[in-house]
Structure 1
Amino acid sequence: MLLLRRLATALLLLGGASAAHAEMTEISIARQPSLGHLPLMIMQDRGIMEKNAAARGIPNLKVNYRTFAGGAVMNDALLSNTIQFAAGGVPPLIVLWAKTRHAPLAVKGVAAMNSMPLYLNMNRPEVKTLRDLSDRDKIGLPAVKVSIQAILLQMAAEKEFGPGHHGDLDRLTVTLSHPDGMRALLSGTEVTGHFTAAPIQELELAKPGIHKLLDSYKILGQPSTFNVIWTSSKFHDENPKIYEAFIASLDEAIGIINADRTAAAKTYVKLSGDASNEALITSILTDPQVTFTTTPQGIGQYSDFMSRTGMIKEKAASWKDLFFPNMAGKNGS
């Protein structure tokens, strides 16, 4: 209901806007506290977005980078025009795409950022399969029922318990940010499991008594996109130069990461404020399972699952339906 109220408010605010106007002079880009958002951190650290906007005739663009705990909160901010670009897991994009598909806002994906595995870690050694979980367990994740971790848990539950049982483990989940989830898992007081992302998952596994229960690549049966970026059609259409500058900046930042992952690790450690170090981040970045790319992988699996289980009412015929035309030439899935 909150999302629908936000959408109604946004339509009222934006509906009267003139079609002919100057592009924005200040934008906000949202990210979350995980290694998957490294391209945005590179953009922030090197002023790449500002440079590329100036090259397209928008000098002195003010770019704010804001950190959010989860995609659901970012969607509210995007609908209220508090932020212009949201970045997070795949499901929040799909949810907002389905809700706004026939509205003037029509939120769509801008690009993928990476493909990397996500782990569910446990602090109870006796939990070796999903069938070992009980009501004594609590699993922390960024947002119950809507985060990418929550949807992956539902997919895993369906594979383990059968069709119609995808929600069997939802009762065990609680919303915690990545850092708070790690603290809770390691202290053993609030949760017994934490479905998270790099580098938090690797920091947890380095501690005695923590083991991995689920791996997103195994759930999906393939490498898959972790993070995507999305915005509204309203912003896309009214700010073409800024949008183009953003695409160029993202490509440039990913190129920087892929050219020198050690240097990229230094940037992450400098900006993240988490407990990781350069050696750990470099080891993750050089893992063959981790790729930084704008090409989506496995997004169709999320969309099909969310449609089939009733989470969204609109079904995308192709992953390309979820994105703006700049992604049409990508060999994604």
Structure 2
Amino acid sequence: MLSRRRAIAALLVLGSLVSTIAPARAETTEIRIAQQFGISYLPLIVMKEQHLLEQAVVEAGLPRPTVTWAQFSGAAAMNDALISGNLDVATAGVGPMIIVWARTRASLKITGVAALGAMPNLLTTSNPRIRTLADFTDKDRIALPAVKIGAQAVMLQMAAEQAFGPGQQNKLDDITVSMAHPDAAAALLGGSSEIDAHFTSPPFSDQELANPKIHKVWSNYDQMGGPATFNVLYAPEKFHAANPQSYGALLVALDRAMAVIKADPTAAAALYIKSEGSKLTPAFVEGIIRDPANDFTATPLQTLKTARFLFKTGAVKVEAAKWQDLFFPEIAGRPGS
């Protein structure tokens, strides 16, 4: 009996030692991230090209992960991939993120990670008759990545409410067409399709406005009253909870990418051209990066305005009381809005 008791005691001590030495749970060895098109995703391009996420994960004491990158043309496909479990981290506009945030509160709890920067989105047109939103007719077609739910679609709804009054947020929805930014820019510049307007971001808006036949109608900065976050990173609560060190490394890598862009816009422009296979000149891209209207910062700006609009108009059923409600707590202390 005494020998049996000693054996049990030894096993308990050994078990205690093993639990102290071994980690309670291994973190993921693969991080799957997706982006869309445009220079607003430059922080992710820098992160990818310079392997900043892999470096940050190793610095956190974990094995070097495999980082898998994907590219989508719109928020709808991005959200489908995230909900189906084929992505760990998605990127899209503030509006699409808030919509999926509200709809998954009782399930996946998809939540914002950080901003990718503040950047103006411009509604451009080749139709000389159109000078304001009120000038659009049912004969016009506005291209944007995802009708009704995409970033530009939500911005256009906010603009329509401001221009036409409460309850009129969907007034222009029927003349919008889903089209990836590169294709829409080519269609507008080509002038041979039904597309005579494009709601887009740099570098596509800059390319279009370089053509004297195309002019600006409206900017989301007009509606917001100044700089506002364009795109954000977001992820399911499961990824956030199961991978605290990897998640922290993601924020570190993102901040480092922002610092690289600000410290050396010339190098950042070269990385963008290489990654996207862009035919734009380095000087053209660098000019966009240096434009004071484009601020590459991970701090969310004016995101609560969009959340309140979506709740007020019934697009989402969950109300955010503060901007921090939309994001995981790691960035709650930043001077966001």
Q: Same fold (TM over 0.5)?
A: yes
Show the counterpart of 2:164.
Answer: 161
For 1:325 and 1:286, the matched residues in 2 are separated by 31
For 1:251 and 1:285, the matched residues in 2 are separated by 16
For 1:117 and 1:287, the matched residues in 2 are separated by 11
Show the counterpart of 2:32.
Answer: 28
2:209 is equivalent to residue 205 of structure 1: yes
Runs of 4+ with >4 A deviation: none
Show the counterpart of 2:51.
Answer: 47
The alpha carbon displacement at 1:172 in A equals 0.4
2:114 is equivalent to residue 108 of structure 1: no
Whether the 8 Å CA contact 1:222–1:298 is kept in 2: the answer is no
Choose from 91, 96, 101 the match for 2:95.
91
The alpha carbon displacement at 1:275 in A equals 3.4
String of CA shifts for 1:242-284, please: whole Å, max 9, x gaps. 1111111001111111111111111111111233221111111
Q: Which has the larger radius of gyration?
A: 2
Whether the 8 Å CA contact 2:140–2:194 is kept in 1: the answer is no
Show the counterpart of 1:238.
Answer: 242
Show the counterpart of 1:134.
Answer: 137
Question: How many residues are paired up?
Answer: 313
2:153 is equivalent to residue 150 of structure 1: yes
2:247 is equivalent to residue 257 of structure 1: no
For 1:112 and 1:96, the matched residues in 2 are separated by 16
For 1:275 and 1:135, the matched residues in 2 are separated by 34
Whether the 8 Å CA contact 2:47–2:253 is kept in 1: the answer is yes
- 1:114 is paired with a residue whose SS is strand
Show the counterpart of 2:86.
Answer: 82
Percentage of identical aligned residues: 45
Letter in 1 for 2:236: S
Show the counterpart of 2:10.
Answer: none
Show the counterpart of 2:335.
Answer: 331
- 2:229 is paired with a residue whose SS is coil
Choose from 184, 189, 207 the match for 1:186.
189
What is the RMSD computed on CA atoms of the aligned residues?
1.1
For 1:314 and 1:180, the matched residues in 2 are separated by 35
Show the counterpart of 1:73.
Answer: 77
Q: Which runs of 5+ in 1 are unaligned?
A: 1-19
String of CA shifts for 1:14-43, please: whole Å, max 9, x gaps. xxxxxx642111121100111011010001
Letter in 2 for 1:191: I
For 1:111 and 1:132, the matched residues in 2 are separated by 37
Q: Which runs of 5+ in 2 are unaligned?
A: 1-23
String of CA shifts for 1:88-146, please: whole Å, max 9, x gaps. 1101110111011132x211111011001010110101111111111110000010111
Show the counterpart of 1:247.
Answer: 251
Whether the 8 Å CA contact 1:114–1:292 is kept in 2: the answer is yes
The alpha carbon displacement at 1:308 in A equals 0.5
2:66 is equivalent to residue 62 of structure 1: yes
For 1:171 and 1:276, the matched residues in 2 are separated by 33
The alpha carbon displacement at 1:208 in A equals 3.0
Letter in 1 for 2:126: N
- 1:226 is paired with a residue whose SS is strand
For 2:90 and 2:77, the matched residues in 1 are separated by 10
Show the counterpart of 1:285.
Answer: 289
TM-score of the superposed pair, with normalisation by structure 1: 0.92
Letter in 2 for 1:35: I
Letter in 2 for 1:228: V
Show the counterpart of 1:224.
Answer: 228
For 1:60 and 1:292, the matched residues in 2 are separated by 27
Show the counterpart of 1:172.
Answer: 175
Show the counterpart of 2:319.
Answer: 315
Letter in 1 for 2:58: A
Q: Which one is further off, 268-277 or 72-81?
A: 268-277
Show the counterpart of 1:274.
Answer: 278
String of CA shifts for 1:48-97, please: whole Å, max 9, x gaps. 11111112232231001111111221111111121111111101110111
- 1:158 is paired with a residue whose SS is helix
For 1:166 and 1:181, the matched residues in 2 are separated by 23
- 2:114 is paired with a residue whose SS is strand
Q: Which one is further off, 182-191 or 33-42?
A: 182-191
